[in-house]
Amino acid sequence: MTTAIDVWGDYFSIAKWQAVVAEALESGDSKPIANINPNDSREFDAIFLGGGAAGRFGAAYCRALGGRVLIIDRWPFLGGSCPHQACVPHHLFSDCAAQLMLERTFSGKLWFQNLNDKMVSIKNIVELFRNGRTGPHAVMNYQSKEQLGLEFVLNAEFSIVDPQTIQVGECQFQAKNLVLALGAKPLVAEIPGARLKGVFNSQTLVENLDYEPANTIVVIGGGKSAIEYGCFFNATGRRTLVVARHQVMPMIKDVESRAYAILMMEEQGMEFLENAGFMAIQGDSQDKVKSVSIKTPSGIINVDTDFVFLGLGEQANSEQIAQILGLETGEKGFIKVNRHMQTSLPNVYAVGDLTGPPMEMFKARKEGVCAAKNIMGQVSEYKAADYPDFMHTHYEVCWLGLSEEEARKRYGNVKIMKLPPDNPNGFDVGLPAGDRMMLYLMAKPRMSGFQKLIIDGDTRKILGAFHIGYGAKDGFQYLNSLVKKGLTIDDLADMDELFISPSYFIQLCRLRAGDPHFKNM
Ligand SMILES: Cc1cc2nc3c(=O)[nH]c(=O)nc-3n(C[C@H](O)[C@H](O)[C@H](O)COP(=O)(O)OP(=O)(O)OC[C@H]3O[C@@H](n4cnc5c(N)ncnc54)[C@H](O)[C@@H]3O)c2cc1C
């Protein structure tokens, strides 16, 4: 690696990293950035191929346990796809969707500008992200180098010589273990026309969008990305049609909670076509999208559009490594691992999105840590299970545990506490509320959210919780751990709520907890 930029021993501030990362991304300069300690003669305990959530956290943990590790990544920054193309843009777009829903709801009233019939630029928001993302990249490089003492080679492609030897340029690196943390990429659609200009996925949207989409957008898929990005497009003022082969949002198992989430999206103007059959995207003479055909139970419909978004799930970045190393893979190329994160080869581990669903940051990071512990001799097992989950519509939707329907199949005495309570006006009741909900509460009560707690009336244990609104996500992280430890209605009743917050579960439980045979509420 004679041509690498050697940064070892030089202090790199966050501002300096930001300039280096921006320069490398803009110029496409492929000069590797090497941070390798020339004074450490120890063999590496592990080489992490990929420095995203799984690789960086695994490497940091290995190092914390006294090991020597090297991360190799093709991007000029550590942190992987989350800050570059995935979670961070998704959250930016979802923030915009929430803000725009508020502004459209109160358009022309109070101090709100008149947004009626106005479209907001998607291109400007994408450009805002593209220009701002080097900030988080710089922080992660700074943290990894200056605070965590990690060794790495960035902006570099590698080749595998054997399971203990990795080549970067002319340099070979040897390690006792190899950890594969190469992530995943959006599934390529098997739809005619899917490669036309104007067809995007979550990666290409932030990298390639260079025009302002017109007023109709077609989203293909019914899962998290499809809905999250669809709600953003809709909130910008465009007609947004979501086309799904099956149901939309099947991951929200509680029927009532899912219905509220869908109703609120429909009231924002989202259109859904479920159980849609054959689809084809047609292009014009310049291979640019001009329309989409969709087969529905009532016939084929054609929609004119210059922008199609594919949210179809992901496949592993495993083609090369699986073949070279002869690793066992499953559906969509996901690498098979045991509970220690070991692949079918001894001393080769795989972690993160590369090993398959759930494709979430906590799972990627925890798998990285699990591999690190095993490499450093601390026998460790991990399998993602019973975790809390969330997604964005124009709201934040959180859930954990069992749905009401699942709970009723398993328990004979299920009790429900929810807001708004059942009433003849449906959702037109001004509770629940909390931060970011108060304007809706006063002026459009039906938009102030929905929440539901599912309880086993016999043991008084919490079985599940659902919340649609804002501000519950943080709480659900902790609530889930408590529920797994057997949290009861009485424990919740004894907590100190920071009122007004999505803490209604606490106060609803307090209202009922005195009763040994409490009823639904
Ligand atoms: C649109 C979207 C939104 C999401 N939102 C959320 C969210 O809100 N919350 C959440 O928890 N999860 C979210 N996720 C999932 C989350 O982003 C992933 O689970 C997480 O990033 C996986 O981390 P990883 O380390 O496995 O992979 P990555 O972070 O993708 O890291 C893989 C690394 O490998 C490197 N690499 C790949 N191939 C090579 C190669 N040949 N040579 C060198 N380096 C290579 C890449 O450069 C990258 O740095 C979202 C995903 C998407 C697509």
Residue 451 has pLDDT above 90, yes or no: yes
Rounded CA separation 358/373 (Å): 21
Q: What pLDDT band is residue 402 in, cutting at 50, 70 and 90?
A: very high
Residue 496 has pLDDT above 60, yes or no: yes
Q: Measure 83 CA to ligand 1 centroid, in angstroms.
A: 9
Q: What pLDDT band is residue 362 in, cutting at 50, 70 and 90?
A: very high
* 90 within ligand 1 shell (Cβ under 6 A): yes
Number of other CB atoms surrounding residue 243 within 10 Å: 25
pLDDT digits (tens, 9 = 90+) for 286-339: 999 999 999 988 899 999 999 999 999 999 999 999 999 999 999 999 999 999
Q: Measure 353 CA to ligand 1 centroid, in angstroms.
A: 7
Residue 188 has pLDDT above 90, yes or no: no
Question: Of 502, 461, 466, nearest to 482 (Cα)?
Answer: 461
| Cβ proximity of 379 and 339 under 8 Å | no
pLDDT digits (tens, 9 = 90+) for 87-141: 999 999 999 999 999 999 999 999 999 999 999 999 999 999 999 999 999 999 9
pLDDT digits (tens, 9 = 90+) for 422-448: 988 888 888 898 999 999 999 999 999
Establish whether 499 is a catalytic residue.
yes
Residue from 91, 362, 499, 511 carrying the catalytic annotation: 499
| Cβ proximity of 472 and 497 under 8 Å | no
Burial readout 51-80 (b: 16 or more C-beta within 10 A, e: otherwise): bbbbbbbbbbbbbebebbbbbbbbbbbbbb
pLDDT at 337 (0 to 100):
98
DSSP secondary structure, 66-105, as one string: T--EEEE-SSSSSSTHHHHHSHHHHHHHHHHHHHHHHHHH
Residue with structure tokens 């300096």?
A: 16
> In the chain, what's the furthest Cα-to-Cα distance?
75
pLDDT digits (tens, 9 = 90+) for 38-96: 999 999 999 999 999 999 999 999 999 999 999 999 999 999 999 999 999 999 999 99
- Classify burial at 93, counting beta carbons within 10 Å of its beta carbon; exposed 0-12, middle 13-18, buried 19 or more: buried
Residue nearest to atom 53 of ligand 1 (CA): 86
Helix (H) or strand (E) holding 419: strand 414-419
pLDDT at 351 (0 to 100):
98
pLDDT at 345 (0 to 100):
96
Mean pLDDT, the chain, rounded, equals: 96
Rounded CA separation 488/463 (Å): 9
| Cβ proximity of 221 and 311 under 8 Å | yes
Q: What pLDDT band is residue 244 in, cutting at 50, 70 and 90?
A: very high
Q: What pLDDT band is residue 4 in, cutting at 50, 70 and 90?
A: confident
| Cβ proximity of 106 and 100 under 8 Å | no
Rounded CA separation 349/346 (Å): 8
Q: What is the average pLDDT across 197-211?
A: 98
Establish whether 137 is a catalytic residue.
yes
Rounded CA separation 162/223 (Å): 38
Residue 2 has pLDDT above 60, yes or no: no
* 50 within ligand 1 shell (Cβ under 6 A): yes
pLDDT at 1 (0 to 100):
60
- Measured between its terminal Cα atoms, the distance across the chain in Å is 67
Establish whether 200 is a catalytic residue.
no
Q: Measure 269 CA to ligand 1 centroid, in angstroms.
A: 31
Reading the block at residue 457, the tokens are 């009336």
The strand pair at 414-419 and 450-456 is best described as antiparallel
Question: Of 80, 71, 162, nearest to 347 (Cα)?
Answer: 162
Rounded CA separation 278/276 (Å): 7
Q: What is the average pLDDT across 8-18?
A: 96
Q: What is the average pLDDT across 252-263?
A: 98
